[in-house]
Amino acid sequence: MFILLKWNKKYGNGAKFVVQDKSNGKFAEFSPARPKDVAWVDTDISKEQDYSDWDDFEKEPVEKLEDIIM
């Protein structure tokens, strides 16, 4: 299970999300256009300044990252 925390407000290949893996509590920036390019970190990156203008995604749960399309 994954939680969608933030979204960069773009669609198609430009869409990116800050996600949390509920199984281990780690965070990553995820792009549906590049699903294999994920680097997980221990810090909640959704709170970093770089993501302050991204939309809050209301902690939307998804079973698999591959299910995310925009």
- Encode pLDDT of 2-61 as tens digits: 999 999 999 999 999 999 999 999 999 999 999 899 999 999 999 999 999 999 999 999
Report yes or no on 69 lying in a domain: no
- This prediction has a pTM of 0.92
CB neighbour class for 7 (10 Å; exposed up to 12, middle 13-18, buried from 19): buried
Q: Is it the case that residue 70 has pLDDT exceeding 80? A: no
Structural domain boundaries, residue 36: 2-63
Q: Which residue has the higher pLDDT, 69 or 6?
A: 6
Instruction: Estimate the share of the chain in helix, then strand, then coil, as percent rounded to the nearest 5.
Output: 15, 35, 45
- Residue 6 forms part of a structural domain: yes
Look at residue 26 in the predicted model and tell me its pLDDT. Answer: 98
Q: Is 45 helix (H, G, I), strand (E, B) or coil?
A: helix
Q: 68 pLDDT exceeds 90?
A: no
The phi and psi torsions of 66 (rounded to 5 degrees) equal -65, -15
Q: How many domains does the chain have?
A: 1
